[in-house]
């Protein structure tokens, strides 16, 4: 077989794996949001669309709306916007690249504005168990007490140059509501939090979400991110999970792909705000 044929065969196999992982993600992750929400989230169903209010930002999730007519999709979008307009509340519609072909345009027509696109990256737990070793001088440990969660929120606030104090409440609610379904890890150097990440188990599925993964700028490039992936993969394996999923930035996506995970789609937050209207 020629090198060109080899590359073609490899590409075809990768495409097949990515399609299989996307199908598993859509069937398990996207289809089970209502059954695995934190205690502080409240659902407001509308057929194939789920509107959710939280203590931080409201969300809209859908099943992708495949097969729906343009008029049906427009109705879902309009009703979601009007629902949150009556509440004078901003809302994020979580849009995926494999959703109904008219959905993106209808969201924009309704006043939803796109934020930064992320890659939906999925892989098997077994493939990232050895993603990276803990760097010298770094300690990784699980945490659940409120002081540690506040320290994580402070670190995230520094990373993103925004007030992320709400994150401590969100993590505390998840730990209190379903402690077996979340594992929060901090990476410390000389007792200071330099990175944090958490594994969120999705009940009723074989998936775990790799959330967080932020590192202070001066500590990047040392392998902390990969070490946190490996540690969460080992926790996921102990819990009997098969897949891991990440909504990855362009900083993280290449690392994850090198570790054997696959970009299966993109996701874009479409945000409507009362001020924008």
Between CA 67 and CA 196 the distance in angstroms is: 40
Assign 270 a pLDDT band (cuts: 50, 70, 90): very high
Residue 87 is classified by DSSP as T
User: Which pLDDT does position 275 carry in this prediction?
Assistant: 81
CA distance 184 to 140: 10
pTM here is 0.87
Strands 91-96 and 262-272: antiparallel
User: Among residues 246, 12, 11, which one has the least CA distance to residue 131?
Assistant: 246
138 has a pLDDT exceeding 50: yes
Task: Encode pLDDT of 65-116 as tens digits.
Answer: 999 999 999 999 999 999 999 999 999 999 999 999 999 999 999 999 999 9
Q: Domain locations in the chain?
A: 11-120+268-272, 123-264
The helix (H) or strand (E) run that includes residue 81 is helix 70-86
Do 11-120+268-272 and 123-264 come out as alike in CATH topology? yes
Select from 202, 209, 198, 216 the least CA-distant residue to 148.
Answer: 198
Closest CA to 107 of 270, 268, 274, 265: 270
Name which CATH class applies to 123-264.
Answer: alpha beta
Arithmetic mean of pLDDT, 30-37: 89
The larger pLDDT score, comparing residue 7 to residue 252, is at 252
Note the pLDDT of residue 96: 98
Instruction: For 231-268, write each residue's pLDDT tens digit.
Output: 999 999 999 999 999 999 998 999 999 999 999 999 99
274, 85 Cβ separation under 8 angstroms: yes
pLDDT band, very low/low/confident/very high, at 37 (cuts 50, 70, 90): confident
75, 129, 234, 235, 242 from 182: Cα distances, Å? 36, 18, 13, 10, 16
Q: Which residues 6+ apart lie within 8 Å of 109 measured at CB? A: none
Q: What is the CA radius of gyration of the chain?
A: 20
Domain 11-120+268-272: CATH architecture, name and number where available: 3-Layer(aba) Sandwich (3.40)
**Mean of pLDDT values over 57-61:** 95
Q: How far apart are CA 181 and CA 210, in angstroms?
A: 12
């Amino acid at each position: 077989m020629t090198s060109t044929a080899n590359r073609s065969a490899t590409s075809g196999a990768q495409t097949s794996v990515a399609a299989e992982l996307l199908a598993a993600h859509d069937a398990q992750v996207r289809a089970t949001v209502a059954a695995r929400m934190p205690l502080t989230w409240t659902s407001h169903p509308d057929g194939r669309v789920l509107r959710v209010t939280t203590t931080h930002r409201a969300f809209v999730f859908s099943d992708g709306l495949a097969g729906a007519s343009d008029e049906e999709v427009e109705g879902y979008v309009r009703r979601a916007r009007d629902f949150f307009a009556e509440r004078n509340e901003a809302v994020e519609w979580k849009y995926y690249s494999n959703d109904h072909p008219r959905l993106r345009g209808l969201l924009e027509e309704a006043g939803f504005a796109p934020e930064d696109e992320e890659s939906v990256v999925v892989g098997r737990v077994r493939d990232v168990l050895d993603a990276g070793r803990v760097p010298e001088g770094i300690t990784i440990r699980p945490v659940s007490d409120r002081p540690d969660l506040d320290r994580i929120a402070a670190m995230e606030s520094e990373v993103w140059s925004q007030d992320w104090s709400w994150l401590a409440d969100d993590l505390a609610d998840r730990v209190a509501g379903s402690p077996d379904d979340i594992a929060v890890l901090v990476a410390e150097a000389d007792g200071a939090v330099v990175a944090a990440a958490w594994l969120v188990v999705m009940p009723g599925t074989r998936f775990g979400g790799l959330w967080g993964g932020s590192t202070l700028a001066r500590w990047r490039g040392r392998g902390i991110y990969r070490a946190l992936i490996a540690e969460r993969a080992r926790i996921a394996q102990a819990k009997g999970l098969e897949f891991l999923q990440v909504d990855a930035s362009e900083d993280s996506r290449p690392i994850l792909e090198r570790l054997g995970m696959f970009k299966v789609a993109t996701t874009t937050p479409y945000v409507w705000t009362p001020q924008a209207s």
